[in-house]
Structure 1
């Protein structure tokens, strides 16, 4: 009887934890969706966002808690649609597409042995291609297809909306998911000089990006030395926030048609914007993973060298190998009784 009660209590705790996880994912999805809508731009007859934050939330939540929280993604998508224009039966297709895309991303990442620490270059490449670019084809294709099928979008406008939808979902994974995965491991540097360097880096990224995206000159490339600095010196905990700053400020400038985004068509703006955001995300993510992997290899080599040096030191000539036995007759000089007085 006692064991049955313990089992029921454990099952109840597991069920409660799952329900709380689903509600947390749904709430985070809806909240970030409302934030993402502030950055939306009109593409033909549809409203799309160049950086759809909820997709990154969804993939990170699945990597943290597993497939059991997928209903939270569906619920968050439903709430987001209902909050925009009211939920119609056609919205079921969008809910299915937006749920299947991160679930497929999770399954593909787990299939190739993805590690959330992203301390290997293969993990960075897996997140880019198997977590972002490939599975987000599902959500963009299903969502745009539903709009065309219901008559909300003319067939001639399918590809512009599809490309913007796909880019926004993919950028959500490339920008938001690494930041969330690394967030639990972020620690302020204990060295005051290193802490000052980190603060200086963040300020410099904000100032340079703001100036580059508001200047009439084409100087967007100025952000990349800072992204390289962040990846080399602080790896993913430093580069992920910098990439987010670059992405958000560039999207705001593109929405305002300011700086290098002025006097261009909407298509040209979207191409330039996603080229910048994609290049920034790839630079920060892949370079951070590469530097981390090389540092880990160096540390392992150093540890092996230390262990080998210790073994060689023990086996060196003149070193006692057997403890007390090796020194019994050495200090006495010749025969074993020479040092004993009658």
Structure 2
């Protein structure tokens, strides 16, 4: 009886700690996201909303029980920017329901957190990011209209900015968090040298591309391809994350390729760039990883076939099989 009570107490403590950790991470990501904001049609939104990525990653790692920590994190973010009103609870529901919907859809299609298959990358893009975040954007913008904070004719521009910001959080932040959870094996010395070279080039080229008055954003894509080919998802997503942050800073400061553009044009250009870059990094890495895994499976099958043929040639039974007894009929 005492053992059962201790087990229940331990589970309760673990659940409380996990809930608090998710809430703190969500709140911290929210504060980071609020540092850089865009204003469209009188509404303020973030081009990348990291908490959605934190929420989806938490659900994929901890399971459905993480929803309470997400709801608490949403509430903390709201309290940090405004006073709590009953109508704000609708936003809590919307911002909690969207990641939960993403988790349920991903689980339904057999999503694997290692993102080693193309189907996993496609599921994260189309189910978790683009489809599920429709819920949070619709609830949030609809609430702004109902409370009279924006005009009804401003629905679509504001809704688009909100939706893409939430989706970008899933596309960029969730893969990085899933990778950090599984990162264990250190690189070889030769790979560290190449990784350091790639990092130095990124640190020099990305700020130039995002701040130059000449449109040089296309220079980022060779870096993404290099990172994906040599360092798979870890390299490409870290490169994409850094580039998205630098592009967002340039857009909110209205400098470089985002200078002399209207607010809506800045939003469209930034979101289109971030979206295509994240899609390129995620899907290209998934394709490369899937091809490598397929090649390794074929190599293992060929090696096993060679071993079987060698045993048969030597007149021995293949590994794992008993030799046939001639005195027994079969």
TM-score (norm 1): 0.90
Distance across 1 between alignment mates of 2:69 and 2:256: 39
Query: Which of these residues, 156, 159, 181, is aligned with residue 159 of structure 1?
Result: 156
Query: 1:243, 1:281 within 8 Å by CA — same for their partners in 2?
Result: yes
**2:14 match:** 17
Higher-Rg structure is: 1
Bigger CA drift: 61-70 or 200-209? 200-209
- C-alpha distance after superposition, 1:53-89 (max 9, x if no partner): 0000000000000111201111111111111122222
Which runs of 5 or more residues in structure 1 are unaligned? 323-342
Query: 2:38, 2:267 within 8 Å by CA — same for their partners in 1?
Result: no
**1:327 match:** none
SS of residue matched to 2:179: helix
SS of residue matched to 2:39: strand
- Alpha-carbon distance, 1:187 to partner: 4.5
Distance across 2 between alignment mates of 1:272 and 1:28: 29
**1:321 match:** 316
- Alpha-carbon distance, 1:207 to partner: 1.8
Bigger CA drift: 179-188 or 151-160? 179-188
- C-alpha distance after superposition, 1:15-42 (max 9, x if no partner): 1111111111111111111111001111
Which runs of 5 or more residues in structure 2 are unaligned? 318-330
Query: Which of these residues, 116, 137, 153, is aligned with residue 140 of structure 1?
Result: 137
| Correspondence 1:5-84 to 2 at 5 A | 5-84=2-81
- Alpha-carbon distance, 1:185 to partner: 2.5
Asked if 1:248 is matched to 2:249, the reply is no
Query: Which of these residues, 277, 280, 289, is aligned with residue 280 of structure 1?
Result: 277
**1:120 match:** 117
Asked if 1:101 is matched to 2:98, the reply is yes
**1:184 match:** 181
- Alpha-carbon distance, 1:203 to partner: 2.3
Query: Which of these residues, 89, 93, 96, is aligned with residue 92 of structure 1?
Result: 89
Distance across 2 between alignment mates of 1:42 and 1:237: 32
SS of residue matched to 1:118: coil
- C-alpha distance after superposition, 1:262-296 (max 9, x if no partner): 01111111111011111111111111111111111
- Alpha-carbon distance, 1:186 to partner: 2.5
TM-score (norm 2): 0.94
Asked if 1:292 is matched to 2:289, the reply is yes
Query: 1:206, 1:246 within 8 Å by CA — same for their partners in 2?
Result: no
Query: Which of these residues, 191, 212, 216, is aligned with residue 215 of structure 1?
Result: 212
Asked if 1:312 is matched to 2:312, the reply is no
Q: How many pairs does the alignment contain?
A: 317
Bigger CA drift: 187-196 or 40-49? 187-196
Distance across 2 between alignment mates of 1:321 and 1:289: 42
Distance across 2 between alignment mates of 1:307 and 1:41: 58
- Alpha-carbon distance, 1:304 to partner: 0.6
Structure 1 pair 190–60 and aligned structure 2 pair: CA distance change class (3 A): closer
**2:327 match:** none
- Alpha-carbon distance, 1:189 to partner: 4.2
Moved over 6 A (4+): none
SS of residue matched to 1:47: strand
**1:330 match:** none
Distance across 1 between alignment mates of 2:187 and 2:224: 22
C-alpha RMSD of matched pairs (Å): 1.2
